[in-house]
Amino acid sequence: MKNRVVISKQGCMRVDVTIFGSSHILRNVEEEALEQLKNGACLPGVIACCGLPDIHSGYGLPIGGVMVVDAQTGVVSPGAVGVDINCGVRAASVPLRYAEVQPHAERLLRKIAAVVATGVGGKTRSEIGKVTNQQFRRLVEGGVPALMELGYATPADVECTEERGHLTPASLDNVSRRAVERGEGQIGTLGSGNHFLEIQRVSEVYDAETAKAFGLELDGVSLMIHCGSRGFGEQICRDHIQAMGKTMERYGIHPPSRNLASVPISSPEGRAYLSAMACAANFAWVNRQVILHEVRGVFKRELGVDKLDLIYDVAHNIAKFEMYDSRKVLVHRKGATRAFPAGHPDVPERYRATGQPAIIPGSMGTASFIVVGTPATMKETWGSVNHGAGRVMSRAAAVGEPRKGRPGLITEQQFRESMRGIAYMSGSGENMLDEAPAAYKNNVEVVDSLAEIGLVKKIVKVLPLAVLKG
């Protein structure tokens, strides 16, 4: 079959595994990533397991992996969700033309960096981000709707966020004090690594009618924000992996890798994780919403723009209950984006005729895409598409090991060449070589490998104008 390969059941696998991608992508998938997918196919209650074109090895399930389990008989696994719970991306439209924004790109970056903290351990510069105790609980349990009550979000922001920015049941009682300590003071921060804030030019329009519904047009301007639940979500993941590792044998669960520690969904440990994960997911949606609120302020002060409309916000690392052919399942998406098609009941009313916008950011300095899913997406990938380009080079390989005298595979000159014509900065001053385009797959090939077989419909392609990295 074109742009897909099937690994038949073997060993303890309960289902076949399908990996999607061009022939070039499939030839170069890491063996470790394939093993991690096959490990996911061994878990109790699993009914599907697949890899998307951005697949690469991770912790537990590979990044770019989707694992679906029966809601009654299946298990939940933090390693199939990811350490950065609800790492995700939101896109917004800017009511200006490229020519109106381009001369101000560097100034906008500096002004945004002044209100949006970046880097490891970065602390918020937003007043709402400084909340503690009961106020913090209110936000992580209530999500974006709680922000709306405080004036940091609009009804349209809530409508255009996956799950309306509020995953339930969320209770901070299932979250450790250490996680809360790490999370307090980090709402409204970008983080580090591949997280970014990008001002973009709409360079190609494939479907003008749908693009218009998204508020986009050729040579228009858009904004993307990519970040997650920061130290709060990371600590929650680690805490519950440790707890499950101690209890899963009690349930007769012996995963091929302890990185896929798991327990029955209905068990006390399973319910506790899903509740804590919901808190982290809500934190991440609140985090991105606060960043958008601060950026709206910058555009208003600097360019007199009254509003930036949220197109959509999608989660990348999450486990959610969904219905497929009247069957309730728990879909683990790790480095995967939900992409429900036109007519799906969970698509916001304003997008019911077009399909939910799915956002696929590229690597630093390269093209990103906004697409929609199709009916085939629901059948073959459980309503999921890739979340980005996917790495082909580890961070260590990209930058080398200076202390040991080992040079990296990417030089400063190569990096500067790849960023020519783009304003960029790291708010924290971190080395950005490990985020260079050469460290990632070609996002055009990644997206086209699904478009060619009808699993996504491309709407627009955007190119970076200015990039703020963590």
Which of the residues are catalytic?
387
CA dihedral (261, 119, 167, 382) positive or negative: negative
Burial of 346 (0-12, 13-18, 19+ CB in 10 A): middle
- C-beta separation of 19 from 37 below 8 A: yes
Alpha-carbon torsion (98, 104, 225, 364), positive or negative:
positive
Closest C-alpha among 211, 205, 232, 301 to residue 85: 232
Q: Measure the CA–CA gap between 302 and 387, rounded to whole angstroms.
A: 32
Closest to 393 measured CA to CA, from 347, 439, 434:
439
Phi, psi at 258, each rounded to 5° = -70, -15
- Integer Cα distance of 119 and 428 in angstroms: 5
User: What tokens does 345 get?
Assistant: 């009941």
Q: What is the dihedral of CA 273, 276, 282, 288, to 10 degrees?
A: -90
For residues 385 and 339, the answer to whether their CB atoms sit within 8 Å is yes
- Whole-angstrom distance, CA of residue 454 vs CA of residue 447: 11
